[in-house]
Structure 1
Amino acid sequence: MPEPSPSVWMRPERPPRDRRLTRRQIVRYAVEILDAEGSRGLSMRRVASGLGVTAGSLYWYMTSKDELLELALDEVLGEILDGDAGERSRDDWRGALAQLAHRNRAMLLRHPWVLSDLAGTPNLGPNALALGEAGLTVLSRAGFAGADLDAALTAVNDHVIGAVTSELSWRAAMDRTNAAEWAEQAGEFLRRVAAEHPLLGGRMAATVTVDAERECERRFAFALDCLLDGLEARRATGG
């Protein structure tokens, strides 16, 4: 079994023991489980059983479920990377940064378990590092430097995470409730809200017929444009 370390990425990857099993196979199957059931459904025994091997076979490649989560996280972060982002950033830093943000959002919607496991999992894999370098390169070429470089990238990443967290909650609520039936049952309540809080009441009533997926995408793009406008203003003034 590999020696424990702060991160699975801090030691060399072991070569496959035989042709039946590789670390990549293990990680890809773990991602399938995570997508279907979240981290609660993931265990070394579960992965081993699905791959038709013993749980002990997995420990040749990783020491624990936590390390498997590290590997799975970096696997899906690779979906965000885009080979032309660096070239595009030379002339269009806003477009390049927006592209990374939209691809990040799409990845998180495909793999919502990432949001719950991101904070407690070391983020030191090759895809994570390449993704961070790509974002910093875009902003550096735009003129950001030093601590502002870090803060600008964090602002964009925080927007993505916050927006997707809110979107997933809204979608879950919409899935549990038929909007038309809810509006009919809550009609009197909505009228009271509108009487006391007309702007809020109007917007609450408008959500009854809204297409949640399109509206979430529109709101994400709107807020991202506002954020990029702010970064553009700071870049232009040098502050």
Structure 2
Amino acid sequence: MDTPYANVWERPEPQPRAAPVPLTRAKIAAAAIRLADADGLDGLSLRKLANDLGVGPMRLYDYVGNRSELLDLMVDVVYAEIAGAGAVAVQPPQWRATVLAIARATRAAGLEHEWFADLIGGRPHLGPHALAVGEATSAALDQAPGVRGIDDLQRAVGTLNAFVIGALRREVTERRTYRSTGTDEAAWQRSLGPYLVRMLDTGRYPTIARLVVDGAHLDPAETFERGLATVLAGVTGAR
């Protein structure tokens, strides 16, 4: 049974043993990430993973109790990438640089491993690298002006995480839609543009009309940066 909150981190890794194919949790997670990067989470199963590693499926259960534990290992590998890319010394003048670096590294990791966007913000991520990223983010925000206590810090962390997760999921969804349908923004405008023009010409949606006609067409990276700056200013009181 795939217990939703089985905790792989509380069980020591099995001791190495003589076998035709030596295994470790790191090796298993790396192979699973390769499969998920290629085929998404729907294409990942313990049986397929075992076949990729050249072992019987039952060997994997010495290392991961179920698919949820496998996903936890994979997620923590991505958090290790984020921690490495976003490593900035947390000093009072540098809290903002730390938060920006981690947010940008999270976006980059999510675009490289699109399946990560499906898992971030879901079940609690309690692996050592996930906790390290959370600690660095929280410690940095705790030094921001306008964050004057634990309540402010909780709100700041929660709002920042909500923005990064939402922005990443939206960008990944748009990329997937384009790949699956071949419909880019220009094609979408050609297809639905006449309908939208007719609706806006009714005069019932003046603000949406301003957004469509006068709003800047930003690329995803610029949209992320502007949104991140706005959210960070709002939750910390600093610009």
Q: TM-score range by the shorter chain?
A: 0.7 to 0.9
- The one-character-per-residue Cα deviations of 1:180-239 (angstroms, maximum 9, x if unpaired) are 4443444432331331345534654689x95xxx61111111111111212332x79xxx
**Equivalent in 84, 90, 93 of residue 92 of structure 2:** 90
Partner of 1:128: 130
Partner of 1:156: 160
The verdict on how the C-alpha distance between 1:181 and 1:222 changes in structure 2, with shifts beyond 3 A counting, is: closer
The verdict on how the C-alpha distance between 1:225 and 1:54 changes in structure 2, with shifts beyond 3 A counting, is: same
**Equivalent in 218, 221, 224 of residue 225 of structure 2:** 221
C-alpha contact 1:74 1:126 (8 A) present in aligned 2: yes
Aligned: 1:168 with 2:168: no
Unmatched tracts of structure 1, length 5 or more: none
Aligned: 1:66 with 2:68: yes
Partner of 1:192: 198
> Could you tell me which amino acid in structure 1 is paired with residue 34 of structure 2?
E
The verdict on how the C-alpha distance between 1:191 and 1:126 changes in structure 2, with shifts beyond 3 A counting, is: same
SS, match of residue 21 in structure 1: coil
TM-score by length of 2: 0.82
Worse overlay, 169-178 or 122-131: 169-178
The verdict on how the C-alpha distance between 1:178 and 1:59 changes in structure 2, with shifts beyond 3 A counting, is: closer
Partner of 1:12: 12
Worse overlay, 189-198 or 72-81: 189-198
The verdict on how the C-alpha distance between 1:118 and 1:51 changes in structure 2, with shifts beyond 3 A counting, is: same
SS, match of residue 80 in structure 1: helix
The verdict on how the C-alpha distance between 1:16 and 1:147 changes in structure 2, with shifts beyond 3 A counting, is: farther
> Could you tell me which amino acid in structure 2 is paired with residue 156 of structure 1?
L
TM-score by length of 1: 0.82
Partner of 1:39: 41
- The one-character-per-residue Cα deviations of 1:18-72 (angstroms, maximum 9, x if unpaired) are 4622221111011111222222221111111001111111111111111111111
- 1: CA distance between counterparts of 2:127 and 2:88? 20
CA RMSD of aligned residues (A): 2.9
